[in-house]
Amino acid sequence: GELARLDTMVTVVDGPRFLSDFGSGDDLLDRGLGLDDEDDRSIADLLVDQVELADVLVLNKTDKMSRREVARLTGILRKLNQTATFAQTTYGRVPLDLIFDTGLFDFKRVEQTEDWLRELQGSHTPETEEYGIGSFVYRRRRPFHPGRLAAVFEGCFEGVLRAKGVVWLATRHEVAGALSIAGDSLSLEPGGPWLAALDQAELADDPETLEWVGRIWEPDHGDRRQELVFIGIEMPQEAIEAELDGCLLTDAEMASGVSGWASLDDPLPGWIAPEEDEL
């Protein structure tokens, strides 16, 4: 007969260790797991990548966890990945029909990272309500002062397990920042130019882009914005939003315009333009 096809991305989660590993702050190199000497990813980064991209999440060693612990962890994983199929196992025994010939893997879904932002805005599971697991979206339409934002990044956001989204820095007006937080690991990297920084004539030839522009465009600064999704346990949402609001430019700073913003203190790590990175 035909051979069964392994067409499913499966992630096995060690239930008892997941949260401790997630919050350990260890790098892959600390555990001897790095791809090479320059692999600077953290354990939390790797765990998040594996959970978010999985078609099937296997929660292993559930026999060593209480029912409450299993429900709490399931709620966290469901917040990180709302579309995966869940299975609970002991000794890693996974039913084969969850792995072979499922047709679950969809490369287009993996590529569409914006779906991550949209999917987290409305749905929830009973576990998230009972165990204080939740998410919220932070949206603002003025830029961050990089100096004040760097000071906030030196601390940590209480209760936050995961955050991801786009950041508008006043001193880097043409390029969107891509913020990612996983446990104690935080990165802010260039995510590509804002649409407002591109030739608008080129945008007119792309119907999908025009539809997106129609939803988020503002007259003064186009699509530039702060849009961050936070996931965590008993997060003090108002306090986190207040911290970030304190990083936004004041009215006086806004009045100085883009030319004035360029002279603001910017202690954040520099960004290498894509064309320079490829040389």
pLDDT at 80: 82
Summarize the chain as % helix, strand, coil (round to 5): 40, 25, 40
For residue 253, give both structure tokens: 């700073």
pLDDT at 122: 52
pLDDT at 175: 96
- Indicate the helix (H) or strand (E) that contains 242: helix 237-245
Per-residue pLDDT of the chain (279 residues; tens, 9 = 90+): 344 444 567 777 887 888 777 766 666 666 665 556 665 667 777 778 888 877 888 888 888 888 888 888 888 888 888 778 777 776 656 555 554 444 444 444 444 444 454 544 555 454 555 667 888 999 999 999 999 999 999 887 888 988 999 999 999 999 999 999 888 788 999 999 999 998 877 777 777 777 777 788 898 999 999 999 998 888 999 999 999 999 999 999 999 999 999 999 999 999 875 554 443
Tokens 């196992």 correspond to what residue?
Answer: 89
Pairing, β 175-182 against β 85-88: unpaired
| Contact of 154 with 260, CB cutoff 8 Å | no
Q: How far apart are CA 46 and CA 105, in angstroms?
A: 19
pLDDT at 237: 93
Question: Rg (Cα) of the chain, in Å, rounded?
Answer: 21
pTM above 0.75, yes or no: no
pLDDT at 36: 66
Q: CA nearest 179: which of 238, 225, 118, 239?
A: 225
For residue 269, give both structure tokens: 């790590």
Q: CA nearest 194: which of 143, 247, 149?
A: 143
Q: How far apart are CA 23 and CA 34, in angstroms?
A: 18
Q: Residue 20, SS3?
A: helix
- Indicate the helix (H) or strand (E) that contains 69: helix 67-80
pLDDT at 133: 83
pLDDT at 242: 96
Q: CA nearest 176: which of 151, 195, 150?
A: 195
Q: Residue 28, SS3?
A: coil
pLDDT at 115: 44
Q: How far apart are CA 157 and CA 183, in angstroms?
A: 10
